[in-house]
Amino acid sequence: MLKTNEERLVEFLLQCQPGPPKARGTWSVGHRGEPFLLPSIGGITLNVQAGDSAFGWAGDHVEPGVSCTADTHKPFDHPNNSLQLYSCVGNIATVVSGEAKGENGVVLGHHGGSEHIIVEFSRKAKEKLGYGDTINIRARGQGLKLLDYPDIVPFNLDPDLLGKMRIRETGDGSLEVPVTTMVPAACMGSGIGASHVGKGDYDIMTSDEETVRKYGLDKIRFGDFVALLDHDNRYGRAYRQGAVSIGVVVHSDCLVAGHGPGVTTVMTSAYPLIKPVIRAGANLADLLKIGTAAPASKGRGRKAKKV
């Protein structure tokens, strides 16, 4: 078991509500120069969940589950910026008002720009939710440290989820971390240059079809753990040879240039101390038995028990 400072972490109770779907109100233009009008960011998305493919949807930047905000009118201000910073992947979310009161969900990650956190709830729970309902997040994880691996830095990661990621100590000072996909540095796009990774995401660009095929990027699912090769996320998002960052996929593929499936960082090292290994089940749905892997799930768009 990895030694951490879990007992010293601060746990906040945060509050948010579902954020209505956003729209530009005009045409968007894809990287091939084609205009489109499609569903996009935000909303209580009934038929998209953790474990579903991040590709093939009639949409752009589609967020699975429930997109949540503390203030839709001031997304970059208090208290929404605190919700973004302190909510961590794997945190428990509980509906505390409305018809869905008592239903539990799991935080999948953050989406920058829209400044949403994305929460996986069952189809049953989503059908009862309203945009005025209140959701509490048990926020714990920022400040997490791996005591025996000071050069491997976790971000945005609930310590309980860390224990379920099937990470293996190699004995040579590195950690083997299961992922579904190896992403080459050249594919990382929108979001590079951010000053820190405590909130938001950055995108795996998918505009080059040959690269998508070569690395199997079109097999990525919502909730996948992926390895971002030669990317150092300690003090922002930057290219560095030998660095490795691990992230969770939080939104769909995109048509807009410079964009693609969005990734929330959960672990990074400037040195080749993270050894990503391909495992088919390295996905939040499979590890936590939510989304497509929930016990009563019958597939996309059908009802499932609460997570």
Question: Is residue 193 helix, strand or coil?
Answer: coil
Q: What is the DSSP letter of 221?
A: B
Cβ partners under 8 Å of residue 218, min gap 6:
55, 206, 212, 253
pLDDT band for position 25 (cuts 50, 70, 90): confident
**Strand arrangement of the beta sheet that strand 175-179 belongs to:** 168-169, 175-179, 274-278
pLDDT digits (tens, 9 = 90+) for 58-105: 999 999 999 999 999 999 999 999 999 999 999 999 999 999 999 999
* Res 56 pLDDT > 50: yes
Q: Evaluate whether 235 touches 245 at the Cβ level (below 8 Å).
A: no
Q: Is the pLDDT of residue 303 over 50?
A: no
pLDDT for 292 beyond 50: yes
Structure tokens at 47: 């038929």
Is it the case that residue 147 has pLDDT exceeding 60?
A: yes
- Closest Cα to residue 153, out of 210, 84, 234, 73? 234
Helices (H), 245-306: 284-288
Considering only 35-44, 91-100, 289-298, which range has the smallest mean pLDDT? 289-298
What are 164-181's pLDDT values in tens digits? Answer: 999 999 999 999 999 999
Q: In order of start, what are the domains of the chain with their CATH numbers?
A: 6-141 (2.40.10.170), 153-286 (2.102.30.10)
Give the count of beta carbons closer than 10 Å to the beta carbon of residue 94. Answer: 16
